[in-house]
C-alpha cells in the first residue's frame, strides 16, 4: 500500500478548528519528515516541519505520536504543523485579507530525517476557511461608518459585538467573521487608514464610534438591550473609552489592551483625553535591528500621565482582560491590574483577568502562528511582540473560549458550552 495522508475533516475546516492529521501505509517504525506550507494572499510562504517515526503497524497519528527533536517542534503536538508555521520572509505576520477565500494548506510526507528530507512519499491539500456556510458578509457604509457586518446563519436577532484591531489600521475582518460562526452578529469596524477615514493616528473622535454603536443597537438582527466590544492593542483602549462614555455597552473584552489612552488625542463632545507620553530613549534596539518598546510608555499613574487614564469607572458594563504575560509591546498585565483597582475603588464589580504565561502581544484566534516580531507602523522598524510559540498557541485556544463564554454570559444571559482549560 502506498503511503497516504488522512485528514479529518477531510477537505475543508474552519481556521480556528482542530485538524486531525494521520499518515497510513508506511513501513513499521519508518522514519519520516512531515512538512506543512501555506501562502498568504501576498504570496509569502509560511513553513513548518517535524520528524516522526511510524508505529509497528506503519501508522502515524499525530494525536498519539510525539514529534522527535530536530524539527519546528517536538513532543505530542497534534496541531504543531499549523501553529509552528513561520514566514520565510523576516518580520512577516500572517493575516487574512479576504475572508471569503480559504487558506490552502499543503502537507507532505518525506522519507527519513535528513536535511533536506528525502523522497516525497505522500502529499495532500486542505482548505482552512473563515466563513461557515450561511454566514452573511454585509459591507457597511452608513453615515461615516466604514465596516463589515457578519451575521450568523438562521433567524436573528443575535447578540451583537463591535470588533476593533490596533495600529495596523485598515479593516481586518477575520476575527469578526470567525466569531460570527458561533452565533454572534459582529461588526468589524475600521477607524483609520481605510478609504476616507483618517490616514494617521493624530486624533480620534468618539462620535464616530458612537455612530457604530447606535448602528448596532438599532439593527433588526442585533439582540438588545446592549452590545459587546472586543478590542486588541490600540483597539483595546478605544473599547475602554467607548465603554466609559457611550451608552448601550453591556460587555467589553480587551486583549492586551491599555487603560490609558495611547498614540492619539481622543475627543468626545467637550472632553479631551491626551495620549500617554512616551520616551524614545527607553526603546532598546538589538543587534538584529529589532526594537524592544515595552518600557517606552510613561506611567499613567504619575504626573501628566494621569490625564491619559481612561475613566473606566464610568462604564456600566462587565470587563474581561485577556493578558499575555510576555507581551513586549507594553505592560498589559499592569494595565489590567490598574483597571481592576480603579473599578473596585469606585464600587464597581471586579473584572475578570485571565493571564497567560508565555503568551505575547498578538493573541489571535486559534492556530494563527505566533508572530515574534514585525514592522510597527508608528515606530517605523520591526518590534518584538513577545511570546513562546507553544504557550502562545495554547493561550490563543483558551482565550478564544473565554471570550465566547464571556459574551454568551453577558449578552444572552446563557452560558456557552465552553470552559477555560488553562
* 331: CB partners within 8 A, 6+ apart: 294, 297
Side-chain-side CA neighbours of 149 within 13 Å: the count stands at 19
Residue 361 among the catalytic residues:
yes
The x, y and z cell numbers of residue 274, run together, are 491626551
Buried b (16+ CB within 10 A) or exposed e, 86-103: bbeeebbbbbbeebeebb
> Same domain for 349 and 377?
yes
Phi-psi region of 385 (alpha: psi -120 to 50; beta: other; left: phi over 0): alpha
Domain's final residue, options 97, 129, 161: 129
Domain's final residue, options 76, 98, 129: 129
> Same domain for 207 and 115?
no
Residue 307 lies in a domain: yes
* 274: CB partners within 8 A, 6+ apart: 261, 265, 304, 307, 308
> Same domain for 236 and 314?
yes
Is residue 422 within 8 Å of residue 356, measured between CB atoms? yes
Residue 421 lies in a domain: no
Residue 133 confidence (pLDDT): 95
Cα–Cα distance for residue pair 255/133, rounded to 1 Å: 28
Residue 218 confidence (pLDDT): 98
> Same domain for 79 and 107?
yes
Question: Could you tell me the CATH number of the domain that includes residue 182?
Answer: 3.40.50.1820
Residue 204 lies in a domain: yes
Residue 49 lies in a domain: yes
The 3-state DSSP class for residue 341 equals helix
Residue 319 lies in a domain: yes
Domain's final residue, options 99, 129, 159: 129
> Same domain for 228 and 200?
yes
What's the average pLDDT block by block, 10 residues per block, for the chain (422 residues)? 96 98 98 98 98 98 98 98 97 96 98 93 98 97 98 95 96 98 98 96 97 98 97 98 98 98 97 96 93 96 96 98 98 98 97 98 98 90 96 98 98 63 36
Residue 398 lies in a domain: yes
Cα–Cα distance for residue pair 379/299, rounded to 1 Å: 19
> Same domain for 255 and 299?
yes
**DSSP for residue 63:** T
Confidence (pTM): 0.96
Residue 182 lies in a domain: yes
Choose, from 361, 392, 408, 410, the residue flagged as catalytic.
361
> Same domain for 80 and 162?
no
Q: Is the dihedral of CA 111, 117, 122, 128 positive or negative?
A: positive
Residue 233 among the catalytic residues:
yes
Nearest by Cα to 282 from 293, 271, 270:
293
> Same domain for 45 and 75?
yes
Residue 288 confidence (pLDDT): 87
Question: Could you tell me the CATH number of the domain that includes residue 10?
Answer: 2.60.40.2240
Choose, from 13, 49, 72, 233, the residue flagged as catalytic.
233
Residue 330 lies in a domain: yes
> Same domain for 338 and 199?
yes
Split into its structural domains, the chain has a count of 2
Domain that holds residue 224: 136-412
Nearest by Cα to 129 from 365, 359, 372:
365
> Same domain for 284 and 377?
yes
> Same domain for 194 and 273?
yes
Residue 16 among the catalytic residues:
no
Residue 413 confidence (pLDDT): 75
Q: Which residue has the cell 508608528?
A: 378
> Same domain for 370 and 385?
yes
Amino acid at each position: 500500500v502506498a503511503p497516504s495522508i488522512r485528514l479529518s475533516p477531510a477537505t475543508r475546516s474552519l481556521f480556528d478548528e482542530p485538524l486531525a492529521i494521520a499518515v497510513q501505509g508506511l513501513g513499521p517504525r519508518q522514519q519520516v519528515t512531515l512538512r506543512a506550507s501555506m501562502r498568504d494572499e501576498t504570496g509569502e510562504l509560511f513553513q513548518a516541519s517535524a520528524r516522526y517515526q511510524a508505529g509497528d503497524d506503519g501508522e502515524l497519528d499525530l494525536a498519539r505520536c510525539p514529534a522527535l527533536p530536530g524539527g519546528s517542534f517536538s513532543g505530542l503536538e497534534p496541531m504543531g504543523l499549523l501553529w509552528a508555521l513561520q514566514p520565510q520572509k523576516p518580520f512577516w505576520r500572517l493575516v487574512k485579507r479576504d475572508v471569503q477565500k480559504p487558506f490552502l494548506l499543503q502537507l507532505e510526507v518525506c522519507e527519513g530525517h535528513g536535511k533536506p528530507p528525502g523522497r516525497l512519499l505522500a502529499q495532500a491539500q486542505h482548505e482552512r476557511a473563515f466563513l461557515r456556510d450561511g454566514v452573511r458578509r454585509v459591507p457597511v457604509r452608513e453615515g461615516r461608518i466604514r465596516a463589515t457586518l457578519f451575521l450568523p446563519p438562521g433567524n436573528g436577532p443575535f447578540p451583537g459585538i463591535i470588533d476593533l484591531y490596533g495600529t495596523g489600521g485598515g479593516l481586518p475582518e477575520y476575527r469578526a467573521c470567525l466569531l460570527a460562526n458561533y452565533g454572534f452578529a459582529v461588526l468589524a469596524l475600521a477607524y483609520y487608514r481605510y478609504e476616507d477615514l483618517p490616514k494617521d493616528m493624530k486624533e480620534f473622535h468618539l462620535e464616530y464610534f458612537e455612530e457604530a454603536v447606535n448602528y448596532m443597537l438599532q439593527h433588526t438582527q442585533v439582540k438588545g438591550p446592549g452590545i459587546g466590544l472586543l478590542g486588541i492593542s490600540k483597539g483595546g483602549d478605544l473599547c475602554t473609552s467607548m465603554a466609559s462614555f457611550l451608552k448601550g455597552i453591556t460587555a467589553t473584552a480587551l486583549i492586551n489592551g491599555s487603560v490609558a489612552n495611547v498614540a492619539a488625542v481622543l475627543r468626545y463632545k467637550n472632553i479631551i483625553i491626551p495620549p500617554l507620553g512616551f520616551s524614545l530613549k527607553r526603546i532598546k534596539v538589538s543587534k538584529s535591528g529589532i526594537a524592544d518598546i515595552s518600557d517606552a510608555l510613561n506611567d499613567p499613574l504619575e504626573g501628566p500621565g494621569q490625564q491619559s487614564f481612561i475613566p473606566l469607572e464610568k462604564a456600566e458594563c462587565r470587563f474581561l482582560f485577556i493578558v499575555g504575560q510576555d507581551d513586549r509591546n507594553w505592560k498589559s498585565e499592569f494595565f489590567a491590574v490598574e483597571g481592576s483597582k480603579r473599578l473596585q475603588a469606585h464600587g464597581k464589580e471586579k473584572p475578570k483577568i485571565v493571564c497567560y504565561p508565555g503568551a505575547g502581544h498578538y493573541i489571535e484566534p486559534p492556530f494563527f502562528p505566533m508572530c515574534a516580531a514585525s514592522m510597527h507602523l508608528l515606530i517605523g522598524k520591526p518590534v518584538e511582540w513577545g511570546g513562546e510559540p507553544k504557550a502562545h498557541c495554547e493561550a490563543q485556544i483558551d482565550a478564544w473560549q473565554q471570550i465566547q463564554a464571556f459574551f454568551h454570559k453577558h449578552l444572552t444571559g446563557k452560558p456557552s458550552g465552553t470552559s477555560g482549560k488553562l
